[in-house]
A = this chain, B = another copy of it.
């Protein structure tokens, strides 16, 4: 009743594969998203099923209600947030992972070794020391949390686990830029440090942290009796792809005895691009790095990763196995290095994608994403109805629809983006930069072409004209 016969499984499995193959066939022409109509009500009002149903009916029903209403990120014309399409080989890896269904907490089975292999490869890609600690996790938020949790452990000399904050006399202070991701704030809050002690340092014209102001703030905090402990630098801000001056920050952290963390959730893998030479210099000096394979390595969500230089500190910060019980001959369990006990097999999709695509293939594709962003920026500058607001070194572009003579551009762009989101020919979102609402287009998509970017601008301009001419 719960089990399926091999024949039943094969029949339903082929059908599920066909459904995804069909999607692959139409993804280029299909709308990015479709209006959901009464789908919300229809799905959410369904009562808890009492009797079991035919599995084939369940599959067809799921296909009918799910597949036409995706978030849209498999489409070449999806430019919102930072959500890539899934590499098809990685979709199949998820199928195999679910079929084997291990918990990768640790132990002697293939999944454990595959995660170790993948972590080794990720350290090589990030130029990180081979003996550093590493762990796959749900995404950037948890990667940053684990990194800062290790920092907190080290900066309290291990007191925190037993005593909490009871034995800390001075509040810890963490630094990031005004462009730092909100998940740094969330980590600081979860860890009990408090966001009053998270300093958001101003940025320069390129949205990189101002190191002089950072230095001055650290001194001011020390003078006030606070305890600066960590700089969370950005290697690719979500707003504009800015990469903070990592070597300068590394120097400052050495001088000031601060933990040097790098949030590379979006931008970390930009290190592979041909256009970014030199920009990541210093990342190899980081105490910890957060990266997100489910962003720029094109594997399905969820797949984040945290790297910590001092593997022993990482283990000591989280392991529930007392040191005298740890077996030095066996590999340590992954669950000793993070916040989960049972852990899914996220490594397989990376392992298979890295073998199918190769480091070289990733270099080419990530470079191409950046080249496409340059193309978009050039087109925006060529047109007189758009203005370019920010174009960092990576693949995100902030811009506005700004036809001559229009003053309330915030309102115009807010209205036009609502229209295009609803109509679904393209999909993008907005952000705020220096108090202005701007359109934001991110390219982390091996399917996007120059023609898709021309469509993006044309659809936006057409919607903008409708806003301007509506009665």
Contact = CB atoms under 8 A, between A and B. Distances in A.
Interface of A: 1-10, 12-14, 16-25, 33, 36, 39-40, 43-44, 46, 48-53, 55, 58-59, 61-63, 65-74, 81, 83, 85-103, 107-111, 113-114, 116-117, 120-121, 124-125, 138-142, 145, 149, 152, 160-166, 171, 182-183, 185-186, 189-197, 292, 294, 298, 300-302, 318, 320, 331, 339-345, 348-349, 351-352, 354-361, 364-365, 446-447
Given A113-B44, A120-B44, A160-B194, A70 B100 contact: yes
Given A25-B6, A101-B86, A110-B36, A320 B446 contact: no
A92 B194 contact: no
> 10 tightest A-B contacts by CB?
A192-B192, A164-B194, A13-B17, A94-B98, A71-B102, A52-B358, A165-B165, A69-B110, A20-B99, A4-B88
Contact of A355 (B3, B53, B294): B53
A197 B98 contact: no
Contacts of A340: 138-139, 141-142, 302
A67 B96 CA distance: 9
A356 B109 contact: no
A215 to B, nearest CB: 24
B351 A62 contact: yes
A40 B331 CA distance: 10
A267 to B, nearest CB: 15
B86 A98 contact: yes
A76 to B, nearest CB: 10
B9 A21 contact: yes
Contacts of A1: 357, 361, 364-365, 446
Contacts of A114: 43, 65-66
B110 A194 contact: no
Interface of A: prevailing SS: helix
A29 to B, nearest CB: 13
Given A48-B124, A192-B160, A357-B52, A89 B17 contact: no
A98 to B, nearest CB: 4
Contacts of A55: 88-89, 356
Contact of A100 (B36, B74, B90, B171): B74
- Choose among A302, A348, A349, A364 the residue with the greatest number of B CB atoms under 10 Å from its CB: A302
Contacts of A24: 3-6, 9
